[in-house]
Structure 1
Amino acid sequence: MPSDSKKNLTVYGLSHAAIDASCAAVAFSLLSSKSITNDYFIQLVIMYNVIAFGSQTLVGLLVDKYRCPKLSAISGSVITASAIPVSFLSPLYAIILAGIGNALFHVGGGTISLNLTKNKAAAPGIFVAPGALGLLIGTLYGKSGSFTAWPLLIIIAILCALMYYTKYPEINYKTDEKINTNYFESIILLLLMTIVARSVIGSVVVLPWKSDIFLLVTLTSGIVLGKAFGGIIGDKYGWQKVGVISLLISAPLLAFGAAIPEAAILGIFLFNFTMPITLVAISNTLPGRPGFSFGLTTLALIIGVLPTYAGAGSFMSQSHSVFAIIISSAIVLYYALFLYSRKPNV
């Protein structure tokens, strides 16, 4: 990987962790300070998820149209930073600002990451991976009872400066590349179904040992490493083979071993292999639209948590349901990547 690409990954990966940490810290500090009720906290979290994840498709369209990924990432960081002091004044406005800022940053940074290793999954996986670590740090910081604005504001300011002075790669905005119109819609739909299934599992699997801080940190490390190595290993040995096998192995571990930390953490590690693979497969199927492609994947994520919001989480969290969802996801991914491999530009 060229040195410029490594520099971009470092800057935007660290920024990803900082942005997600800030959003989580803002949310959980509101609950920790008892400035809002538990019910209102849940409403704000749902609102945040809808804004942060549901709006990225529209943001992606705009970023692609105006070709401004760096501006999107930096402005998103600034807006997220503004949510931190606002949280001491208005929980509602703080959550809205955090959601908007998060969406802008993710689309901008995601667009850049998709163009660091052309048509490969390694760079996007490494870009997305630190987000889970940021969420953990932000959650713990917000719950600590000693939340203050200045540490996060300083970190975001430094990272904004680094993003500004880091030259990003040429972005592929050529929309006239050949695609296989016979399979185009099917590929996109099947890949999005796989992402929805991953989101469902992430929202319903019950891990009763997560209250142990050591195990929680280990679990988060498994998520981070799974997303990072999924792209690297997938590029080397083939997306279809790596993605499908990792899902098949993770199915019994998560369905029947969720109460066993070692089994569940290994399952989570393998389960996250598909994240960069599905993201880049969608982006490659929609040439010249990296922002929109990134936004589609996050839209699928928010769709995946809707069953939990609707009260179906208890049924879907049962072992047989988890197993069936993951196995079905593996089958769908296999067929999606089979059709993808028949595209003329791959």
Structure 2
Amino acid sequence: MKKFKNNITGIEYFIVHACVETICFYLLRLHYPLLLAGTIAFTYDFFAFLPQGIIGKFIESHKKLPYETIGNLLMLGAIFLVASPVHALHISGYVVLGIGNAIMHECGAIATVTESRGKIFQSALFVSGGGVGIVIGQTMGIAQAPWQWLIIPAVLSEVCALAARKSVRKGTYPTFDVVEKKFSPWTILLVAFLVTAVRSYLGYAIPISWNKELWQTILLFGIMGLGKALGGYFVDRIGAWKTAVFSTLAAIPFLIFGDKIMVVSVIGVFFFSMTMSITFAMCLSILKSSPGLAFGVTTAALFIGLVPAFFVRFGLLTNAILIVILSIACCVLLSKTLKK
């Protein structure tokens, strides 16, 4: 019971994140496939990922505004815009959806760091909720569930976010210290950015030809979420350096040899996902008074990493080579900059 109470903010924002992604991924499937599907996804990703650092800094500096309600109202408005029979409103709906998503992510990052007591698990728990929402949203989309059902996660998101509203506004944050002091702050932030961008890109390069059924997709995103949450748990227990080196190297053989073997592949995905919380902790170790900006660094890197996936596709062998080379490069960078 004590552990539950200590992680209550992470649990609340796990639910918020799941609700937000349920809405987003249902709406992203609503007009798919179309010739504009790529444009829709790129537009949404741009507004959902890139502005988060700016939004987070604004939230930290102006605490009186009801950001949770603003974010959820934008999500609710996006539902009606994207579901509208007026085609001209759809793209604007995805812009609104992305901005609402960004606000809710920043509220979650700030709230969970505030209540973290210098541990990264609550933030990792919050982020892992996205995998649950992706599965629910995609499942609803495939089943062609009525779009009106999205009002339920919108309301639930508001209830849980309001329950944690004080955590967003405290303005005092615990200290994180996972990086080597001999490197400049800019070097640490650059490494965190690069590693996050590479992880984002490799997420699209992982060969998963076995993923053909809905239940397999559910398993895949469930394992991703579990890896993200347990990555934060292990960072707190055994340290960022050990978690980073082990998970990055352990993932390689499972990822490149699991294309047609589901069990092998999901083990690799699990290890691969564990590094998510590490780069956020690195940014928090530098941007100590601004968790919103620290989280924004990682989300901007996520966007930069996924941009090539919109324009370039490689074969299985090339992807396998990229996974090996880039994973080893990330491992070296993390092993040098993280505190042992």
Using the size of structure 1 for normalisation, the TM-score is: 0.88
Q: Aligned-residue CA RMSD in angstroms?
A: 2.4
2:255 corresponds to:
254
Alpha-carbon distance, 1:174 to partner: 9.4
1:66 paired with 2:67, answer: no
**Partner secondary structure for residue 188 of structure 2:** helix
- The equivalent residue for 2:287 is 286
Partner secondary structure for residue 35 of structure 2: helix
How much has 1:286 moved relative to structure 2? 0.7
CA contact (8 A) 1:114 1:280 kept: no
Work out whether residues 192 and 283 of structure 2, in 8 Å CA contact, stay in contact via their aligned partners in 1. Answer: yes
65, 81, 86: which is aligned to 1:86?
A: 81
Asked if structure 2 preserves the Cα contact closer than 8 Å seen for 1:191 and 1:336, the reply is no
How much does 1:332 deviate? Answer: 1.2
Once residues 174 and 12 of structure 2 are traced to their aligned partners in structure 1, the CA distance between those partners, rounded to angstroms, is 26
**Secondary structure of residue in 2 paired with 1:45:** helix
Which residue in the other structure is 2:123 paired with?
Answer: 124
Change (3 A) 1:77 1:62: same
Once the 2 structures are TM-superposed, how far is the Cα of residue 3 of structure 1 from its aligned partner?
Answer: 5.5
Point out the more displaced range, 77-86 or 306-315. Answer: 306-315
Which aligned pairs between 1:42-121 and structure 2 lie closer than 5 A?
42-67=38-63, 71-89=66-84, 90-121=89-120
Q: Distance in 1 between matches of 2:213 and 2:12?
A: 31
Q: Tell me which residue corresponds to 2:157.
A: 159
Cα 1:168/1:99, change in 2 over 3 Å: same
Rounded to whole Å, the distance in 2 between the matches of 1:268 and 1:274 is: 11
- Check whether the contact 2:71–2:101 (CA below 8 A) recurs between aligned residues: yes
Q: Which residue of 2 is the match for residue 221 of structure 1?
A: 222
Q: State the identity %.
A: 23
Instruction: Report the Cα distance in structure 2 between the residues aligned to 1:181 and 1:198, rounded to whole angstroms.
Output: 25
SS state at 2:147 partner: coil
**Number of residues paired by the alignment?**
330
Paired residues for 1:1-346 under 5 Å:
4-31=5-32, 38-67=34-63, 71-89=66-84, 90-149=89-148, 151-166=149-164, 168-169=166-167, 170-172=170-172, 182-311=183-312, 313-314=314-315, 318-338=319-339
Q: Is the 8 A contact 1:57 1:296 kept in 2?
A: yes
Displacement, 1:2? 6.1
CA offset at residue 147 of structure 1? 2.8
CA contact (8 A) 2:244 2:278 kept: yes
Farther-moved stretch of structure 1 (101-110 vs 305-314): 305-314
Distance of 1:306 and 1:160 partners within structure 2: 31
Q: Distance in 2 between matches of 1:269 and 1:336?
A: 23
- Equivalent-residue separation in structure 2 for 1:82 and 1:199 (angstroms): 29
Query: What is the alpha-carbon distance in structure 2 between the residues aligned to residue 100 and residue 232 of structure 1?
Result: 30
Q: Report the CA distance shift for 1:123/1:174 in structure 2 as closer, same or farther (over 3 A).
A: closer
217-226 vs 292-301, which moves further: 217-226
- Encode CA deviations 1:183-215: one digit per residue, 9 max, x unaligned: 211111111111111101102222111112222
Equivalent AA in structure 2 for residue 113 of structure 1: T
Aligned to 1:38, the other structure's residue is in SS state coil
- Post-superposition offset of 1:118: 2.7
Q: Which runs of 5+ in 2 are unaligned?
A: none
1:276-327 per-residue CA deviation (whole Å, 9 max, x = no partner) reads 1211221121111111111110000011012222325448952111111111
Q: Is the 8 A contact 2:134 2:221 kept in 1?
A: no
Q: Would the aligned equivalents of 1:206 and 1:317 in 2 still touch at CA under 8 Å?
A: no
Q: Post-superposition shift, 1:71? A: 3.1
Question: SS of the residue aligned with 1:318?
Answer: helix
Distance 2:317 2:102 in 1: 28
**Contact 2:16-2:156 within 8 A present in 1 as well:** no
Tell me the CA shift for residue 244 of structure 1: 1.1
